[in-house]
Chains A and B, each alone.
Chain A
Amino acid sequence: MNRSAQTVLIGVAALALIFAPLYLGAYSLTLLGRVLALSIAAIGICVVWGRGGILSLGQGLFFGLGGYALAMHLKLMATAKGELPDFMVYNGVEALPWFWKPFVSAPFALLMVLILPAAAAGLIAWLMFRRRITGVYVSIITQALVLAFVTWLNGSQGLTSGTNGITDFQMFLGINLRGESVARGLYWVTLLILGLCLAATALLLRTHFGAILTAIKDNENRVRFLGYNPAAYKIAAFALGGLLSGVSGALYTLHLGTISPAMIGVTFSIELVVWVALGGRSSLIGAVGGLILGNLAKDKISSAAPDAWLYVMGGLFVLVVLVLPQGVAGLLNHRRVRRTVPSVRREVKEVTDIA
């Protein structure tokens, strides 16, 4: 498919998304909005994995931090003044824990939605990349960290409501979340944020930063001995990935009206990655599209045949990797990818400096 056909296709898809509230039913619109919120996390994975070559299996951690930051505020908003959130009362907590207190303020909570995930991702990345931990090690460590987070959440009934998660939201920024037209508004806001994130990231990847990131993925040593500090670039990319995941998590929480450990765990994190792989890890549109279509398909198939779903999902993991290493986007950009991918792989072997 050539460039102009692609542009037309993307334009049509964008229009269809913008006007979706006018022709979609309530259920479909909610579903689509939710999936759009999720797809912001896919942008982050595309940057970190597709461009930077770093496979994080712990994006759920940052997603969860964003989601919980907002959920804490929403929960406090749904709790009468001077009272404790219901789950704290059930668990015999007597005073609001210190880290809950500032979340009464909406600006603070919104700031935390951005800062917490980005800072956590930056810190984790700093710990890993400073010590030159790479490849599958990063995947294992990030997976372990998301597991640690979820395990802690599950065990902290009184502080985070444990396995039940935080639910029952009512008001946000003075808007009643259960109101009539909220669904549409939220949909458009989500679409707008998605569009902004996409555009900003696309721009970022066209700067020198994007080139260095690709260069580091190809040959980290070469870049290092040209005078760059690869760790700094990887940390920046990882923090950006965390930030996008956090935004995605907050929006998702708003759409679903709840957040719980089961929503952000190991399985969730790796599923995100697979949808990105299916769409095309190194293409922003591919990653976002893969996630959107994948989740819509998941909704259809898993409600029609719940038992079959895991087979489909499992099969997809294997097939994508074996037959579509560059995802659907790679298939569409047929000519370009066909020519480069095999030769790139051949070179990787030659580079190993075995004298």
Chain B
Amino acid sequence: MDPVFLSGQLFTGLSVASLLLLTALGLALSFGLMRVINMAHGEFLMIGGYLTFIAAKLMGPGFLWLAFPLAFVGTALLGALLEFTVIRRLYGRPLDTLLATWGISLILQQAARQIFGSTGVPVTAPAWLSGAVVVHGGVLDGLTFPHVRLFVIVLSALVLGGMWWLLNRSPFGMHVRAVNQNREVAASLGVNTRRLDMLVFALGAGIAGVAGVGLALLSPVNPTVGAAYIVNAFLVVVVGGVGSVLGAGAAALLLGFTTALAEGLTSSSLAQSIMLILVVVFLQWKPKGLFPTQSRALEET
């Protein structure tokens, strides 16, 4: 195969993986902590995208400075509200939570459809992001790296690094990991698990909102964009291993590259199917994902 084409596919795969990773991080966090499957998580991505659109409308070219805080805070608040009103009432009933959050995602999608219409709203990237790095000479002559995609990759690397630090080096992270291992024991040692649940959930939603900013830069935002990402994001969580941030990172890369490569070799719909089936096969080999957490408390549930 042509090396330029191949590298191009890999690069695209990397940028897709970056968004997937940002979406999956929040899922991995809340799934690890609360064993909760939030089907409305994709809609945080969508809302982040629409908030970016609004920021661009309000601010013109310099909108990114507003878009990031707006998307993060907006979706985080919505996440906290969702946790408070629905999810905490369903604690210990993961399958029911899944259904309820799916319902919420339907409502959010329909609301977006009525407010913004069902066709995508475009966001024009600022001028400094609209160029591309082009390789001259050598085997990779002509290979282009669009700035927007580079930006998204850097963004998600930064967020991943931040999350890793937060979880592994900060007191907050220590509490999260403690509850992850054994909720009852952590609670009896004085960790306020309810507040922690809400914080983590809001944080995960906020990160998805940030991913929405990246998404809006890459393609128009429409009401079903979240739904398009959610299944893959879940697969990232499953492949990565419950609640593991690094696992999610590795899995997102793996899935992103596999899809991009398969797309290069066959049609995109076949690639998607192949990827989904590969995941199921992978789970035969490692049913607990790449980075499983071993704990007696986890095992019994």
CB neighbours (8 Å) of A49 from chain B are 95
CB neighbours (8 Å) of B296 from chain A are 353-354
Q: Does A307 belong to the interface (CB within 8 Å)?
A: yes
| Contact residue among B90, B103, B235, B280 (Cβ-Cβ distance under 8 Å from A316) | B103
The verdict on A266 contacting B185 (CB below 8 Å), with A139-B95, A141-B238, A322-B89 known, is no
Binds A, one of B69-77, B160-168, B266-274: B266-274
CB neighbours (8 Å) of B268 from chain A are 155
The verdict on A135 contacting B99 (CB below 8 Å), with A148-B276, A310-B109, A322-B86 known, is no
> Would you list which residues of chain A between 291 and 345 have a CB under 8 Å from chain B?
307, 310-311, 313-318, 320-322, 325, 345
CA distance in complex: A154, B272 (Å): 11
CB neighbours (8 Å) of B279 from chain A are 141, 144
| Contact residue among A145, A274, A317, A345 (Cβ-Cβ distance under 8 Å from B276) | A145
> Would you list which residues of chain A between 85 and 106 have a CB under 8 Å from chain B?
none
Tell me how far the C-beta of A316 lies from the nearest C-beta in chain B, rounded to whole angstroms: 7
Q: Is the CB of A131 within 8 A of B109?
A: no
CA distance in complex: A314, B40 (Å): 11
Tell me how far the C-beta of B13 lies from the nearest C-beta in chain A, rounded to whole angstroms: 18
CB neighbours (8 Å) of B276 from chain A are 144-145, 147-148, 151
CA distance in complex: A148, B269 (Å): 8
Please tell me the size bucket of the interface on B.
35 or more
CA distance in complex: A29, B139 (Å): 67
CA distance in complex: A351, B284 (Å): 28
The verdict on A127 contacting B284 (CB below 8 Å), with A136-B95, A151-B269, A155-B267 known, is yes
Q: Is the CB of B182 within 8 A of A354?
A: yes
Q: Does B184 belong to the interface (CB within 8 Å)?
A: yes
Q: Is the CB of A131 within 8 A of B106?
A: no
Chain A residue with the shortest CB-CB distance to B86 = A318
Chain B residue with the shortest CB-CB distance to A138 = B95
CA distance in complex: A130, B284 (Å): 9
| Contact residue among A133, A151, A320 (Cβ-Cβ distance under 8 Å from B273) | A151
Q: Does B114 belong to the interface (CB within 8 Å)?
A: yes
The verdict on A133 contacting B287 (CB below 8 Å), with A147-B231, A273-B99, A321-B96 known, is yes
The verdict on A349 contacting B98 (CB below 8 Å), with A133-B287, A148-B273, A354-B185 known, is no
> Would you list which residues of chain B between 76 and 119 have a CB under 8 Å from chain A?
86, 89-90, 92-100, 102-107, 109-110, 114
CA distance in complex: A307, B283 (Å): 40
Chain A residue with the shortest CB-CB distance to B40 = A314
Which of A124, A131, A277 has the most CB atoms of chain B within a 10 A radius of its CB? A131
Q: Is the CB of B100 within 8 A of A321?
A: yes
CB neighbours (8 Å) of A274 from chain B are 99, 103
CB neighbours (8 Å) of B89 from chain A are 322
> Would you list which residues of chain B between 268 and 301 have a CB under 8 Å from chain A?
268-270, 272-273, 276-277, 279-280, 283-284, 287, 296-297, 300-301
Q: Does B149 belong to the interface (CB within 8 Å)?
A: no
State the A residues within 8 Å of B (CB). Answer: 49, 55, 124, 127-128, 130-133, 135-137, 139-141, 143-145, 147-149, 151-152, 154-156, 266, 270, 273-274, 277, 307, 310-311, 313-318, 320-322, 325, 345, 348-349, 351-354
- Taking A321-B99, A325-B93 as known contacts, 18 extra A-B pairs with beta carbons closer than 8 A to each other, sorted by chain A number, are A127-B283, A130-B284, A135-B94, A136-B31, A141-B238, A145-B280, A148-B276, A155-B269, A155-B273, A307-B110, A313-B106, A316-B103, A317-B103, A321-B93, A321-B103, A322-B100, A325-B96, A349-B92
State the B residues within 8 Å of A (CB). Answer: 31, 35, 37, 86, 89-90, 92-100, 102-107, 109-110, 114, 182, 184-185, 227, 231, 234-235, 238, 267-270, 272-273, 276-277, 279-280, 283-284, 287, 296-297, 300-301
Cross-chain pairs A/B with CB under 8 angstroms, 22 sampled: A55-B95, A124-B280, A133-B287, A135-B94, A136-B31, A136-B94, A136-B98, A139-B95, A140-B37, A141-B238, A143-B231, A144-B231, A144-B279, A266-B227, A314-B110, A317-B102, A317-B104, A318-B104, A320-B99, A348-B92, A354-B184, A354-B185
